[in-house]
Every structure is written in C-alpha cells, then in structure tokens.
C-alpha cells in the first residue's frame, strides 16, 4: 500500500469514527448536567417552606410570598439577613447574600400568581369573626386603631412598593406576626407603623383579626394598589409617601 | 461659537492644571497606593467580619462573640481618638498584631487572632494601619466583655500565651517556591485559617503540632475539617483550579462552601487577586500530601442499619435526587456532588446533618452573584428520617462514612443558629 492509500484509508476510518460517534456526542456533553439557569431553580431553597411558586405550604406558620409587592419582600429579605427581623432559619439562610440578589428574589416572587388556598373555615364564634371584620374594615377610633384596609387596601391586596397583601395567609401566621411586633422580634424601618398598630391590639383583637382575614376568599383581582393611592393614616418608614 | 468653546476648553484645562498639584499634595499617589494595599490586606485578614456588628457601622466593633468562657464584644478599630484607635501609633498597632498587647501593655484576649497575625510583616501591618486610619471615624464606646469567673481575669491570658502563643513573623522556606511561600504567609498569617481548622482544646488553645488538623468550632456547632487529611478537607486530590474556584467564588466542581466558611469567602477571599488565591491554593494542596490510605468502609451488618438505609434511599430519591442525582453526582458547581465528596464522608457527621436540617446558600460573590440554595429539611423530616438520609449519603456510591443516629440528628436540631 502506498503512502497516499494509507492516508486515504486513515481518513476513511476517521470519517467512520466521526459518523458513528456524532449521534452519541450530545449525550456525552450532557453527562455533567448543569443546574437550570432560572430563578425558580435558584430559589428552590425557599420551596420546602413557602411552596415552589411561593404559594405557601400546609405549614400554618410559613407565609405565602407570591404576588406580594416586591418592595415589601425585599425589605423582609434584608431585615432577615441583617437580623432586624428575627427568625433563625431565615437569618441563617440569607446571611451572605448581596442586596442585588435579594432584589431579584423579591421581584421573582412578586411576579408569581399561583392560585390562592381555600379560605380557612373559621374555628371561632360568629361574634369574634364580626369583631375581626369590624377592626379590619373600620378600625377602632376610640382606641386609635386604624382600619387595616386604610393601608392594605379595601380588598387587602396591599400597595406598591412595600405594603403586603393580607390574603392567602393563615390565622396562625397573622397572629404570630402581630405578636412579633408587640414583642420586638419583628421590626421595620422607623417609623415602624405596624409596631404602633400591633401594640394597640389586645390578644382578643389579634385573634379576631387573624380569624377574619384568614377566612376571606381569594380576591377577584390579586394585584396590589398603585403607590400613593391609599390614605395611610400613619407614617410608615417602609412606605415613603 | 467655535472660538468660545476653544476658550472654554482652555479655561477648563487651566483650572484642572491648577488643581492637579493641590490634589496630589493632599493625597500623594504613594499614599493612595499604600491605602489600597492596606485595604486589600485588611480584606485578607477579614477584619470587617468581627469588627463590624450586624447593621452596625463598619469597623466600629460591638459584635458579640460567644465563647465557652462567656461573650466577648469586638472593639472599635475606626480612627476615633476617644473610642477607637485614633491615638495609636503604627508601633502600637504592630505590637497589637504581633504580640497581642494593647498600647498600655495590657493583654488581648486570643479571640483576636494575634497568634496568626504575629506572622504578618511590619510593612503589611503598617499598610493596614494606614488604611484603618483613613476610614470614617465612629464614636462608639466598646462594650465590656461578659466573661464568667475565672475567665474575666485577664492575667489568665499569661498562662494561655505561655502554652499556645509563639510570637514571630513568617519565615519563608527557601526550599519552596515563592508562590508556595506567599500562600503559606496568607494562610498562616492574615487568613488565620488555623483559628478554626485546628482543634481548640478545653483551655481555648490550639497546639501547633496539630495545626490544620480540624476540630469542632466551639459554640457554632460546625466542624472545621482538617486541611491536612485528604479524607476531610485536605485538598491533595483537588486541582488548583478547583481550589481557586472554591475559595474565590464559593462553589466548585468538588463542593460549595457553607457554614462559617461562607462568611470567610463572602467578606474576605472573594476580594483577593488571582495570584494570591492561586498561591493559597498551591500551599493548601501541599498541606494535604502524603496522608494514610483509606480505612475499609464501615460494616453495616445489623438489621437496624439496613432499615436505616432503605428508609434513607426512599427519602433521598424523593427529596434529594432531583438536584444531587440518583447516584450522587450532582450538577456541579451549583448542585454539589455527594459521591466522593470528602465533606459528606468525613469522621464527623456534624456538617452533613446540619446541611440537611438547615439547608444553606453559598455566599453571593462577584464570581457567583446568584448562588443556588439547598432547602432546609428540619421542618419536614423527623430525627429518624434525617439520620436515615444522612447515613444513606455517607455510605452510598463508594462513600465510606459511618452511619449516624437519630440522637445525633436531634442534638444538632437544637444547635443554635446564632
């Protein structure tokens, strides 16, 4: 066999090799699979407590995140990271995450609209429920308690950029948060309006408000009010007017 | 019009020409360079992590540090003359770094890593000093330490120093490369890696003969693995690039940083330059050469163990496999491999158990600004289930870890998350 023939023979072998291996190449390239380049994959750490879509889980103490205003979610992430809002599992998870990333997480959950859970069947009396409805809608002028609706909206969807919606949350979570404000484990930027409101409420008020809010059906329009569209009787550090 | 703009440009040029010498005088380039160097070295020493309280002013101190002997509060190292170190001279600053003494001769508690910083050169100490004098002064009085008797007696530090403190700047090893020596200088000195990666004994000291052999970090309930054993965090089998990625970005093909190491990468290592990180990698890889061969895998003969394993596999397939893969290969760097991962199979199961209980995010760094997180499972899995799944990952796919018990899982469930 001459040199040229050998060369031709070799290239033939090469050609076969290329043809036979080509179909397998993509499979080989896939072997070290990469994590999906999505926010959903990045925030999977949140899913075991808050649901894959931020819709909440069966655990009554873990809140729904989806569809809350991004500014509100961002403020909470920063407060947890910096220890101003105290809950060790959250403080620990967020400790070394930069602002930009927390902002992206907040934007992500604010953009999601998973279905609301079935409203809770109240376990309290009608009288307590009525008391809750009265505080939520009208406040208690004698005791200086403003209605929830004055800041959180008449349909409780919240207001941009930083006032959260109050629906889709369970009674245990709502009363734990109001308690957290009263005892100082949850704080927000000064003036901390919710600290003032929560400290005006009695244990029974908290129970009634939590029972009423958690029994509300999903809102027809699950979106928040535009900035500045609600009266806001109290100054609030998180929501500049 | 054109003439006007020419005039304007000329005028502007004159203004700037007039200004340049003045600016240069205020801030001579040599000084700017020194400050930059000092800032960089302060990053390498991770001063900020301890000397800044949460939501506190940078370098103003006040961070509580829990120790087995009580709580220490870190000090204000801003240049405020009354409450900070504004009146200190560079000699006094060097004495603190090098010998662990205050300007008045008083002894510093060894929570300040002067046992490592003693290796820092005078030149580098002076650069850090210059930088710290340039940061905004903060008037904030140091909080008194809350130490229990007898540890509130500072003279006890004399005993501690006799046992555990060896004063002396770093001495390069002439038989090694310049790169190795630079890495050793950073790891042993400013990096103060030995503070966690060397076991702390009951007296709060660590012995030089056990340097980098690993140990449980008191009060934090994390195990700082050995840097000398390839069965722990020894990096002998890692490539230099993998070590560089791990130290600088927080993730690598071999695994991600978590726990206290996430803090180190977040506040310190991500800011170091390529040459220094590479030098540290070269030195760290060298530390782990020549370790003993693997022990045989532990036997799992009992019925209890096989039950544990079958439950563990069931949980793994349900909760873990979607990211870490059915055979533990993961999807590096973001979903770390569990098979052949030293951190999973080392003698102490503390870190593996805590990762399952608490989950975790690697730090957000310039090289990995949007890290992927591991979910916590403390709220979903019982002690038995945690023990089962950790036993499964420690003993599957060729991993040679020992099984863990529900009791171990339970003990760490109550470990404070700070």
| Model-wide pTM > 0.90 | no
Which alpha helices (H) appear in B77-198, and where do they start and end?
Answer: 90-99, 114-117, 122-134, 156-164, 178-188, 194-197
Confidence of residue A17 (pLDDT cuts 50, 70, 90): very low
* pLDDT over 90 percentage in chain A: 71
Confidence of residue B289 (pLDDT cuts 50, 70, 90): low
Residue B107 CA to residue B169 CA, distance in Å, equals: 19
Q: Give pLDDT, residue B178.
A: 98
Q: Does residue A74 have a pLDDT over 60?
A: yes
Q: Which of A145, A129, A127, A148 is nearest to A137 (CA)?
A: A148
Q: In this complex, how many residue pairs, one in chain A and one in chain B, have their CB atoms less than 8 Å apart?
A: 93
Q: Give pLDDT, residue B4.
A: 42
C-alpha B278 chain-centroid distance: 17
Q: What residue in A sits closest to B362 (Cα-Cα)?
A: A96
Q: Give pLDDT, residue B234.
A: 84
Say yes or no for a CB contact (<8 Å) between B418 and A92. yes
Q: Give pLDDT, residue B12.
A: 42
Q: Give pLDDT, residue A158.
A: 93
- Chain A interface mutation, best of B269, B331, B361, highest count of A Cβ atoms under 10 Å: B361
Residue B279 CA to residue B285 CA, distance in Å, equals: 10
Residue B245 CA to residue B192 CA, distance in Å, equals: 20
Q: Scanning the structure block, which residue is given the tokens 């978590």? A: B258
Window 100-119 of A: residues touching B by CB (8 A cutoff) are 100-101, 104
Residue A150 CA to residue A158 CA, distance in Å, equals: 10
Look at strands B70-73 and B64-67 and give their pairing. antiparallel
Q: Does residue B11 have a pLDDT over 90?
A: no
List the beta bridge partners of residue B223.
Answer: B216
Give me the torsion for CA of A9, A15, A21, A22, rounded to 10°: 180
In contact, A135 and A187? CB cutoff 8 Å: no
* Separation in Å, CA of A150 to nearest CA in chain B: 31
DSSP per-residue string spanning A67-100: TS-HHHHHHHHHHHHHTSS--HHHHHHHTT--HH
Contacts of A88 in chain B (CB under 8 A): 416-418
* Separation in Å, CA of B236 to nearest CA in chain A: 23
Q: What residue in B sits closest to A34 (Cα-Cα)?
A: B331
Structure tokens at B373: 């997180």
Coil, strand or helix: which one is B65?
strand
Say yes or no for a CB contact (<8 Å) between B332 and A49. no
Q: Does residue A25 have a pLDDT over 80?
A: no
Contacts of B331 in chain A (CB under 8 A): 32-35
CB contact, 8 Å: A93 with chain B? yes
Look at strands B146-147 and B70-73 and give their pairing. antiparallel
Over residues B85-111, mean pLDDT = 95
pLDDT digits (tens, 9 = 90+) for A169-224: 999 999 999 999 998 889 998 999 999 999 999 999 999 999 999 999 988 887 78
Say yes or no for a CB contact (<8 Å) between A93 and B54. no
Residue B58 CA to residue B223 CA, distance in Å, equals: 29
pLDDT digits (tens, 9 = 90+) for A127-141: 999 999 999 999 999
Q: What residue in B sits closest to A87 (Cα-Cα)?
A: B417
Confidence of residue B27 (pLDDT cuts 50, 70, 90): very low
Residue B413 CA to residue B355 CA, distance in Å, equals: 11
Q: Give pLDDT, residue B297.
A: 52
Q: Does residue B172 have a pLDDT over 60?
A: yes
Over residues B294-302, mean pLDDT = 54
Q: Which of B367, B338, B336, B366 is nearest to B257 (CA)?
A: B336
Contacts of A98 in chain B (CB under 8 A): 364, 369
Say yes or no for a CB contact (<8 Å) between A42 and B376. no
Look at strands B222-224 and B70-73 and give their pairing. unpaired
Q: Give pLDDT, residue B414.
A: 79
Window 135-194 of A: residues touching B by CB (8 A cutoff) are none
Say yes or no for a CB contact (<8 Å) between A42 and B416. no
Q: Give pLDDT, residue B300.
A: 55
- CA angle B56–A238–A160, rounded 5-degree value: 140
Structure tokens at B265: 């990468």
Q: Give pLDDT, residue B3.
A: 45
Residue B296 CA to residue B309 CA, distance in Å, equals: 19
Q: Give pLDDT, residue B417.
A: 56
Cis? peptide before B104, omega within 30° of 0? no
Question: CB-CB: which of A82, A88, A101 is closest to B364?
Answer: A101
Say yes or no for a CB contact (<8 Å) between B378 and A82. no
């Amino acid at each position: 066999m001459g040199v040229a023939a050998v060369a031709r023979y070799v290239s033939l072998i090469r050609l076969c090799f290329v043809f036979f291996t080509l179909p397998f190449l993509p499979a080989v390239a896939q072997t070290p699979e990469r994590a999906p380049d999505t926010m959903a994959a990045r925030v999977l750490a949140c899913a075991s407590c808050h649901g894959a879509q931020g819709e909440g889980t069966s655990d009554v103490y873990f809140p729904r995140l989806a569809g809350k205003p991004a500014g509100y979610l961002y403020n909470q992430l920063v407060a947890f990271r910096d220890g101003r809002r105290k809950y060790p599992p959250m403080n620990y998870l967020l400790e070394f995450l930069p602002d930009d990333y927390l902002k992206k997480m907040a934007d992500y959950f604010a953009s999601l609209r998973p279905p609301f859970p079935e409203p809770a069947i109240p376990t309290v009396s009608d009288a307590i429920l009525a008391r809750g409805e009265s505080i939520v809608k009208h406040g208690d002028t004698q005791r200086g308690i403003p209605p929830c609706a004055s800041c959180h909206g008449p349909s409780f969807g919240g207001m941009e950029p930083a006032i959260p919606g109050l629906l889709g949350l369970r009674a245990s979570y709502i009363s734990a948060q109001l308690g957290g404000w009263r005892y100082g484990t949850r704080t927000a930027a000064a003036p901390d309006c919710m600290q003032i409101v929560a400290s005006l409420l009695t244990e029974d008020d908290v129970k009634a408000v939590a029972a009423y809010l958690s029994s509300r059906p999903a809102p027809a329009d699950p979106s928040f009010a535009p900035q500045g569209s609600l009266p806001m009787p109290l100054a609030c550090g998180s929501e500049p007017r | 019009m054109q003439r006007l703009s020419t005039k304007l440009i000329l005028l502007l040029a004159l203004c700037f020409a007039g200004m340049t010498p003045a600016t240069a005088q205020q801030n001579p380039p040599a000084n700017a360079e020194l400050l930059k160097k000092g800032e960089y070295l302060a990053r390498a020493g991770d001063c900020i992590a301890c000397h800044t309280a949460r939501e506190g002013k940078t370098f103003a101190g006040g961070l509580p540090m829990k120790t087995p002997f009580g709580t220490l509060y870190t000090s204000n190292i801003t240049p405020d003359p009354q409450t900070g170190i504004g009146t200190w001279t560079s000699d006094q600053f060097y004495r603190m770094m090098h010998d662990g003494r205050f300007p008045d001769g008083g002894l510093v508690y060894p929570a300040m890593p002067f046992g490592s910083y003693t290796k820092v050169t005078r030149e580098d100490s002076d650069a850090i000093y210059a930088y710290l004098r340039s940061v905004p002064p903060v008037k904030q009085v140091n909080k008194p330490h809350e130490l229990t008797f007898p540890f509130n007696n500072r003279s006890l530090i004399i005993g501690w120093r006799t046992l555990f403190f060896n004063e002396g700047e770093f001495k390069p090893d002439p038989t090694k490369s310049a790169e190795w020596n630079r890495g050793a200088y950073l790891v042993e000195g400013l990096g103060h890696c030995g503070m966690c990666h060397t076991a702390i004994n009951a007296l709060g000291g660590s012995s030089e003969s056990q340097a980098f052999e690993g140990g449980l970090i008191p009060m934090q309930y994390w195990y700082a693995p050995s840097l000398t054993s390839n069965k722990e965090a020894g990096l002998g089998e890692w490539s230099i690039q993998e070590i560089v990625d791990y130290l600088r970005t927080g993730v690598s093909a071999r695994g991600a940083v978590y726990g206290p190491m996430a803090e180190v990468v977040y506040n310190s290592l991500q800011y170091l330059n390529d040459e220094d990180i590479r030098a540290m990698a070269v030195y760290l890889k060298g530390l782990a050469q020549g370790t003993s061969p693997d022990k045989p895998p532990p036997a799992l003969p009992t019925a209890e163990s096989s039950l544990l394993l079958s439950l563990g596999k069931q949980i793994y397939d349900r909760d873990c496999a979607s990211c870490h893969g059915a055979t533990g290969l993961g999807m590096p760097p973001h979903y770390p491999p569990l098979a052949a991962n030293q951190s999973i199979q080392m003698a102490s199961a503390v870190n593996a158990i805590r990762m399952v209980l608490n989950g975790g995010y690697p730090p957000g760094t310039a090289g990995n600004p949007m890290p992927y997180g591991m979910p916590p499972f403390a709220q979903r899995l019982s002690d038995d289930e945690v023990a089962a799944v950790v036993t499964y990952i420690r003993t599957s796919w060729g991993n040679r870890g020992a099984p863990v018990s529900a009791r171990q899982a339970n003990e760490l469930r109550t470990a404070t998350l700070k």
